[in-house]
Structure 1
């Protein structure tokens, strides 16, 4: 039962990250400039971490940390590849949100900050939820 409860909590965390991330893009004019510039990417990567936790709830948290960093970095480096077919996908709203549009080194830092923040939050808020990290 603990696993099901954890999956639900992580699922809600995914939804919260989606809502906050989209809100940071839509309402960026109301945010401080630093937050408007960096928060969306950090929240996107946080969402990826929580998706990994939903998928790998029984595994130790560090696995979700590594997988989410690898996935996020992979998506960013994939933006170096420019071809007509992938750019058509990226030009759609959903494709742009998932795949991004162009490679930026700063995004790697934003992803790392977002993932490390929620990893730390996860360890602090639920140290006994499933497995203890060693």
Structure 2
């Protein structure tokens, strides 16, 4: 498989916009979705970024690398030192590194990446059927 970088870049930008929107408009989102949507979209953005970087990598491997990265970032939130907490106190640092470890974030990352992988496999399956 060879991914189209333009499509992955465009979808990544859309996911970033939706993620920022999920934070800005959290008051209108359902309570059942609100705590998890931003984290699922963050993980989806990581998946799409890996798809952009690794064009020929299989979907499952892209998902595993993305999930490992997300888990690493989440586990790193257990570490607190002045230097990294100062980074986390900035807007960008907080968005990228997060603030504190939550098991629910692990679940949200898994769901976000699983959905991306499933959509990618579905789209690839549709493309393959049209080639025949």
TM-score (norm 1): 0.90
Segment drifting more, 71-80 vs 33-42: 33-42
Gaps of 5+ in 2: none
1:76 match: 74
CA shift at 1:58, angstroms?
Answer: 1.2
Provide the aligned length of Structure 1 versus Structure 2. 128
Alignment partners' CA distance in 1, 2:14 and 2:127: 20
Which runs of structure 1 show a deviation greater than 6 angstroms over 4 or more consecutive aligned residues?
none
TM-score (norm 2): 0.91
Gaps of 5+ in 1: none
CA shift at 1:128, angstroms?
Answer: 7.2
Matched, 1:89 2:76: no
RMSD: 1.7
Deviations 1:45-77 (CA, angstroms, capped at 9, x unpaired)? 000000000001112111110100000000000
Deviations 1:61-111 (CA, angstroms, capped at 9, x unpaired)? 111101000000000000000000000000000000000000001110000
